[in-house]
């Protein structure tokens, strides 16, 4: 076989492989981004990632477990005894159950509602005095904040889609979870243990989705949380901005694997806790000090989406660990998070 023939044959083989993997020749998709595939939803840790077609409903349930471990001051760890506080947190666990509904009155507009039920536990260490080195544990549990909003799809062409989202978070979660101190006084639990923000929050987002072919896809999302005003306790959480980008490969008709990078930055608490009758002394407990909030974190996540083609039923999971964190400290650092979820559309 001469060189030209070999070359033409290779080119032909490459072309047919490319065509077989191209969205363009899949059945009736007409160059449009398509949700009916395993990677048709983003990794389960991402919210507001997709819109629906007119008349569609979707129910979702997510279970998220987050583990926090170790105190950070800036991007390095600090030991409990070197913080200057009498009580510091050493470990925290958060179990969140999130329930979501989506409904699309039109192809361009999808309405969303979400709420959650959360369980928190925090281990704390006493660093000074006669009880130095001893541990205490506190727990909180209940309904968190509820958000209502919409997603507006403004671009849908050439296997790409983009939508804008805006939700309003309602302060349905409690901000006055209390505990009994060793001295028998009833005091507010630290900020991280409260179930809601106590403020009305705006949740804007911008999402871009691309399916270059049937085999793989990628997407990116920018989102924020803006706290309006101050809560009944007299403070407001710092605003937050996050950026996330992921790529997913359909390893089977019914399964996709994903990899994601996410970066977020959030501010210190604004205001103080003077309104609260049960305020903790911020000079004694580091987790009750409004200055020990906020920071920057970069996470990496791997995910698996399972999709049942005929029913559209989905089950997915994502596991994430921080690659980098720089926190206004002393503040508990992120250790890992695991999300498990199921989605059903009809």
Cβ-closest residue to Cu ion? 58
Report d(CA 298, CA 301) in Å as an integer: 10
> Least distance from C-beta 111 to Cu ion, angstroms?
11
Cβ density class 226-257: b for 16+ within 10 Å, e for less: ebeebbebbbbbbbbebbbebbbebeeeeebb
Nearer to Cu ion, 47 or 288 (CB): 47
> Least distance from C-beta 313 to Cu ion, angstroms?
12
Nearer to Cu ion, 58 or 280 (CB): 58
> Least distance from C-beta 308 to Cu ion, angstroms?
15
What are the backbone angles phi and psi of residue 6, rounded to the nearest 5°?
A: -60, -45
Nearer to Cu ion, 114 or 118 (CB): 114
Nearer to Cu ion, 41 or 225 (CB): 41
Sign of CA dihedral 184, 190, 196, 200: positive
> Least distance from C-beta 346 to Cu ion, angstroms?
11
- Residue ranges that bind Cu ion, judged by CB under 5 A: 58, 102
Report d(CA 279, CA 58) in Å as an integer: 41
Nearer to Cu ion, 8 or 53 (CB): 53
Q: Of 93, 94, 114, which is closest to residue 203 (Cα–Cα)?
A: 114
Report d(CA 234, CA 127) in Å as an integer: 28
Report d(CA 274, CA 231) in Å as an integer: 11
> Least distance from C-beta 302 to Cu ion, angstroms?
22
């Amino acid at each position: 076989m001469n060189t030209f023939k070999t070359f033409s044959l290779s080119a032909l083989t490459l072309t047919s492989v490319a065509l077989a993997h191209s969205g363009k020749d899949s059945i009736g998709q007409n160059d449009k981004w398509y949700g009916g595939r395993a990677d048709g939803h983003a990794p389960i840790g991402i919210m507001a990632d997709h819109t629906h077609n007119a008349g569609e409903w979707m129910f979702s349930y997510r279970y998220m477990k987050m583990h926090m471990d170790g105190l950070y001051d800036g991007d390095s760890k600090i030991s409990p005894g070197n913080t200057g506080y009498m009580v510091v947190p050493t470990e925290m666990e958060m179990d969140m159950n999130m329930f979501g509904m989506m409904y699309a009155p039109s192809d361009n507009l999808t309405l969303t509602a979400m709420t959650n039920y959360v369980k928190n536990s925090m281990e704390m260490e006493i660093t000074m005095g006669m009880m130095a080195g001893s541990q205490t544990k506190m727990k909180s549990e209940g309904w968190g904040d509820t958000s209502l909003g919409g997603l507006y799809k403004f671009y849908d062409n050439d296997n790409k889609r983009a939508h804008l989202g805006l939700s309003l978070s309602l302060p349905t979660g409690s901000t006055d979870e209390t505990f009994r101190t060793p001295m028998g006084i009833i005091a507010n639990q630290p900020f991280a243990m409260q179930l809601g923000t106590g403020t009305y929050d705006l949740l804007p987002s911008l999402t871009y989705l691309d399916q270059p072919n049937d085999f793989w896809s990628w997407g990116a999302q920018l989102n924020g949380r803006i706290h309006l005003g101050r809560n009944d306790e007299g403070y407001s959480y710092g605003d937050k901005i996050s950026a996330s980008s992921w790529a997913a490969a359909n390893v089977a008709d019914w399964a996709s694997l994903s990899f994601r990078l996410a970066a977020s930055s959030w501010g210190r608490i604004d205001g103080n806790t003077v309104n609260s009758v049960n305020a903790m002394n911020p000079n004694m407990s580091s987790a009750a000090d409004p200055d020990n909030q906020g920071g920057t974190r970069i996470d990496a996540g791997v995910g698996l989406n399972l999709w049942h083609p005929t029913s559209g039923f989905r089950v997915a999971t994502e596991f994430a660990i921080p690659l980098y964190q720089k926190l206004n400290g002393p503040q508990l650092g992120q250790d890992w998070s695991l999300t498990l979820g199921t989605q059903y559309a009809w």
